[in-house]
Structure 1
Amino acid sequence: MIHTEPVTLELNGVRLEPMTAAHAPDLARAAADGELWKIRVTSVPAPGEEAAYIDTALSMRDAGSRLPFVVRDLGSGTIIGSTSYHDIVPAVDRVEIGYTWYARSWQRTHVNTSCKLMLLRHAFDTLGCKVVGFRTDNFNHASREAIARLGAQCDGVIRHSALRRDGTVRDTVMFSITAGEWPEIRAHLEYRLGRFPARAG
């Protein structure tokens, strides 16, 4: 049975640090890069909502269902986004990776692949997960494509499953990677990072 606890992970000039209440101003600055709260299919905190966003994440952590991180670029020392383990089910050795967003200037760089590789390595190689899941809004095409590029398999669609920030109800697309698939996916992600080096902060 897996046991998750706060941990700091580092790779390729990117560090994942346990989220704390003190990160609110940093997350506000990251979200302002691209005004990410205006994107309909994400849950990025709007201005003034950062403290509540963090409080929710930490409450879920205390309940055992989520492990939230901030993403730091080590070159500049700047917080550039957030990601989490969530829907943690120790009885079946399962976690999901989500609540992921990055400042616009860091999208389509080495950052997402680096973060996913760190989280997947920790989940499979350290925690001993049997499966790692991902979920996204049916209309979040960029997220769906990014998850598919990792090598995750689509498990299906949960229809009419969750509220969006604008009050509409989304369909949720579910993906997963199993422990048996992990060695090949790890090699694939390491290869991708070798062709997509870190940039200076």
Structure 2
Amino acid sequence: MIEKITDSEIVLENDRVLLRPLKESDFENLLVFALHEADLWKYSLISPAGEEGMKNYISTTLQNKVAGIEYPFIVFDKATQQYAGSTRFYDIQPFNKTTQLGYTWYGKAFQRTGLNRNCKQLLFQFAFEKWGLERVELRADANNQPSINAMKAIGCTVEGILRSNMTIEAGGRRDSIILSILKTEWFGSVKQLLQQKIR
């Protein structure tokens, strides 16, 4: 059994990025994206687009945090001194020592800047070295090639595709690609790979 983290105040940071627990008041910090960059969530199962969408998005994940199944973060870019987006651990399974990492999004100005790699390095390091997990899973819409490429680039292994497994908020269904990193892989090569990429 791993440590329960949902009651903890987890702050992760390096020279580039600060990840801190998402709060209700962060609505103000993230609203600009919901109002002006709604296409960020083209492939998302839950879209925080619009004022009500962002309120519901934050409220739902904070309820799930209380329930012990999610831990959401807000992302602060130290290079620009701006809030950049959000990410979270979800489907937390203490007994199995596993979690999923996802619901990750960044404003357009923060994409392809190295911010995501810095975030992932901090999150994986926490998951495997502090939290004691054995496996971190990531998923994406099988059509979301930019996201898939980003996950492969940081060392994730493709496990397969779940066909027509989820309903999309905008209507229809999606195939989900499953990727993961194991604790042995993190210490074996992935940690070093990520450290090299964020230099």
Q: TM-score, normalised by structure 2?
A: 0.92
List per-residue Cα deviations over 1:54-90 (Å, max 9, x = no partner). Answer: 0000011111111000001124432110000011110
The one-letter code sitting in structure 1 at the alignment partner of 2:93 is V
List per-residue Cα deviations over 1:130-153 (Å, max 9, x = no partner). Answer: 111101111111111111111111
Distance in 2 (CA, whole Å) between partners of 1:44 and 1:187 is 34
Distance in 2 (CA, whole Å) between partners of 1:75 and 1:142 is 23
- Deviating beyond 4 angstroms after TM superposition, the runs of 4 or more aligned structure 1 residues are none
**Alignment partner, residue 135 of structure 2:** 131
Structure 2: unaligned runs, 5 residues or longer: none
Aligned residue among 19, 32, 44 for 1:29: 32
- Give 1:32 shift: 4.5
List per-residue Cα deviations over 1:159-188 (Å, max 9, x = no partner). Answer: 111121211101111111111100210000
The answer (yes or no) to whether the contact 2:87–2:104 under 8 Å persists in 1 is yes
Q: Secondary structure at the match of 1:70?
A: strand
Distance in 2 (CA, whole Å) between partners of 1:139 and 1:57 is 25
**Alignment partner, residue 90 of structure 1:** 94
Distance in 2 (CA, whole Å) between partners of 1:32 and 1:129 is 36
Structure 1: unaligned runs, 5 residues or longer: 195-201
**Alignment partner, residue 14 of structure 2:** 11
Tell me the matched-pair count: 193
Q: TM-score, normalised by structure 1?
A: 0.91
**Alignment partner, residue 110 of structure 1:** 114
Q: Secondary structure at the match of 1:86?
A: strand
Cα root mean square deviation, aligned: 1.4
**Alignment partner, residue 40 of structure 1:** 42
Q: What are the equivalent positions in structure 2 for 1:157-196 lying under 5 Å apart? A: 157-183=161-187, 184-194=189-199
**Alignment partner, residue 197 of structure 1:** none
Q: Secondary structure at the match of 1:91?
A: coil
Q: Cα–Cα, structure 1 residues 125 and 8, in superposed 2: closer, same or farther, change >3 Å?
A: same
Distance in 1 (CA, whole Å) between partners of 2:120 and 2:58 is 21
- Give 1:30 shift: 3.3
- Give 1:31 shift: 4.0
Question: Identity across aligned pairs (percent)?
Answer: 31
The one-letter code sitting in structure 1 at the alignment partner of 2:142 is N
Q: Which region of structure 1 is more displaced relative to structure 2, 76-85 or 100-109?
A: 76-85
List per-residue Cα deviations over 1:17-49 (Å, max 9, x = no partner). Answer: 100110012111134564335x42124411112
